[in-house]
A and B are shown apart, each in its own frame.
Chain A
Amino acid sequence: MGLIRTLALCAVCSFTAVPAMASLAYVSNEKDNSLSVIDMDTLEVVDTIAVGQRPRGILLSKDNSKLYICASDDDTVQILDLATRTIIDDLPSGEDPEQFALHPNDRHLYIANEDDAIVTVVDIQTKEVLAQTEVGVEPEGMAVSPDGRWAVSSSETTSMLHWINTETFKIEKNIVVGQRPRHVEFSDDNKTAWASAEIGGTVHVIDVDRLSEIKTLDFSIRGVHQDKVQPVGIELTSDGKLAFVALGPANHVAVVDAQSYEILDYLLVGSRVWHLELNEDESQLLTTNGVSGDVSVIDVADRKVIKSIKVGRYPWGVVIAPSP
């Protein structure tokens, strides 16, 4: 009887289990003023959505229902409803927003304003500007720690990481890194922050507790001139084992052991690889290749590039969300 009940229960479970939802990747095309939508099952572009001018940084709301888009030349952050694929609202962003980060509270958006050397904090619900924090010259990278304690802005010309306390909106620490820091990424356990220095050709790993650098990574690809090695996008696996670094005009993505900091491999992708995104189960990594206008798909387990998908002109950012 017990067995029958178990079997019956299993049958019910398997019927009620939510079928695996196809997920979609959204890619911002900087020069086409559009987003390309890629079906992650077929790896084909299924839609193109017109958005504001020069879309660059994009990120998802915590419930994956909305996409925030830095429309840099419109000086605004647009909100795209993913179910209807229409722009439903704008947020004040300060001038020329390029990269931004969302606080875990799903309300505070930290936006780097490159031209004004400030970071603007906007409350998404009230559309109110909560603070404008002065940072170094040409702020570019923006990240908020998963525990919500820190917001980090990297300024390209000052070559610094500015650690902003998210309660006071004041800078508490500046860390000098390599030239032209572009992007900052926190590990899921809040222990480390990784920052790429485009001109310096390095990636700096920062201990978040002590706010000091613990490792500088250098990259060198046989046959590629060192000047071309310009790290930009960084992506870390949630198990803390691997890091991926997009090397810009070197057309390669470096695979790094995130514990030993050993560089495991360089994978050939399209021209000027910019930003990276892992899919939900972290089996695939997408790269945006600006100059060649495509998105490469990397099989994480095999460490192989399986396909490059043509998108719009100058793809910049990419995020992946379950199909709404």
Chain B
Amino acid sequence: MKAAHYWHCFVGIQSREWLRFWQQRTRFFSALVRPLLWLAVFAAGFRAVLGVSIIPPYQTYITYETYIAPGLCGMIVLFNSMQGALSMVYDRELGSMRVLLMSPLPRPFLLITKLLSMGLVSIGQVYIFLLVARLFDIEPPTLGYLAVLPALMLTSLMLGALGLLIATWVKQLENFAGVMNFVIFPMFFLSSALYPLWKMQEASPWLYWLCQINPFTHAVEAIRFALYLQWNPAAFGITLAVTLVLASLATAGFRPQRTKILPGVA
């Protein structure tokens, strides 16, 4: 197989993903409306007009809106990844996934490419969200918009791999919504997306530890630090490690037909 084949395949999957995205423009708006609602309504309710105390990477006092913006970037990626996973279940039901997997290229490549292209669509939405967020006075340094790209890519790969892994387990489309509630909400709420972890620690050490072992926390922190041009090796390293583990599990476990991975399921 030549590199050109890989490229051809990459472009193919990529363009299909964008085409799908374009045809589902309402999905795009809903994906944008959700974090903006959080920013404009939820954050307004919790508005810390006297400032959230200084925690890295911030250099001074910030409003609550500023605090949750990176978490909402993570939220966009999280919802998109799970929605992407849903579409993979859907594709699998309709057989179009099998068509894709008929390609002679190695399956892990196909799957990772699929995850990457879903990730790029999410990242496009994150950037639009960040642009709109400027209207809410959330103005990270200009270079931060560039620095955040690797963190966003990694986050979308990690969550995409998680979605793929779940999609492998789920037998039917109908079950998926239920599973999602068990994944999206705990992941989002038990993280540093909405509140600094020291606050969690004050409330309950158990909650704090749950947040700490949640990979989404580290993904959000990687995004937060990168957006403000600071390097957080721990957050980035943990996100990378979890991505590698999830991606290898997901690609190894994926079967085009509904099959059981675990004995007793299916």
Residues on A facing B (Cβ under 8 Å): 221-224, 250-251, 268-271, 292, 294, 296-297, 304-308
Contacts and interface: CB of A to CB of B under 8 A. Distances in A.
A268 B59 contact: no
A251 B61 contact: yes
B61 A224 contact: no
Contact of A269 (B53, B59, B61, B63): B61
Contacts of A223: 47, 49
Contact of A271 (B47, B50, B60, B63): B50
Contacts of B50: 224, 250-251, 268, 271
A222 B61 contact: no
A40 to B, nearest CB: 15
A124 to B, nearest CB: 37
A221 B47 CA distance: 13
Q: Looking at B47, B51, B54, B62, which has the most chain A CB atoms within 10 Å of its CB?
A: B51
A220 to B, nearest CB: 12
B49 A307 contact: no
A305 B60 contact: yes
B60 A308 contact: yes
Interface in B38-96: 47, 49-51, 53-54, 59-63
A294 B53 CA distance: 12
B62 to A, nearest CB: 8
B63 A268 contact: yes
B47 A268 contact: no
A294 B54 CA distance: 11
Interface string B114-150: 0000000000000000000000000100000000000
A142 B54 CA distance: 34
B200 to A, nearest CB: 22
B93 to A, nearest CB: 50
Contacts of A294: 54
Contact of A270 (B47, B49, B61, B139): B61
Q: Looking at B50, B54, B59, B62, which has the most chain A CB atoms within 10 Å of its CB?
A: B50
A305 B49 contact: no
B255 to A, nearest CB: 54
A308 B54 contact: yes
A270 B50 CA distance: 8
Given A223-B49, A271-B50, A307 B59 contact: yes
A112 B51 CA distance: 34
A210 B180 CA distance: 73
B49 A269 contact: no
A174 B63 CA distance: 42
A251 B51 contact: yes
A278 B63 CA distance: 25
Nearest to A224: B49
27 contacts: A221-B49, A222-B49, A223-B47, A223-B49, A224-B49, A250-B50, A251-B50, A251-B51, A251-B61, A268-B49, A268-B50, A268-B51, A268-B62, A268-B63, A269-B51, A269-B60, A269-B61, A271-B50, A271-B51, A292-B53, A292-B61, A294-B54, A296-B61, A305-B60, A307-B60, A308-B54, A308-B60
Contacts of B54: 294, 308
A116 to B, nearest CB: 36
Contacts of A307: 59-60
Q: Looking at B49, B62, B139, which has the most chain A CB atoms within 10 Å of its CB?
A: B49
Contacts of A268: 49-51, 60-63
B49 A308 contact: no
Nearest to B58: A308
A308 B47 contact: no
Nearest to B59: A307
Contacts of B63: 268
Q: Looking at B54, B62, B139, which has the most chain A CB atoms within 10 Å of its CB?
A: B54
Contacts of B51: 251, 268-271
A294 B60 CA distance: 10
Q: Looking at B47, B51, B60, B63, which has the most chain A CB atoms within 10 Å of its CB?
A: B60
Contacts of B47: 223
A64 to B, nearest CB: 28
A6 B263 CA distance: 89
A269 B54 CA distance: 11
Contacts of B61: 251, 268-270, 292, 296, 305, 308
A224 B53 CA distance: 17
A251 B62 CA distance: 11
A306 B59 contact: yes
A105 B86 CA distance: 79
B49 A306 contact: no
Contacts of A221: 49
- Cβ-closest 6 pairs across A and B: A223-B49, A308-B60, A307-B59, A251-B50, A305-B60, A268-B51
Nearest to A266: B49
B232 to A, nearest CB: 19
Nearest to B52: A268
Nearest to A250: B50
A25 B75 CA distance: 42
A221 B48 CA distance: 12
Given A250-B50, A271-B51, 15 more contacts: A251-B51, A251-B61, A268-B49, A268-B61, A269-B51, A269-B61, A270-B51, A292-B53, A296-B60, A296-B61, A304-B139, A306-B59, A306-B60, A308-B54, A308-B59
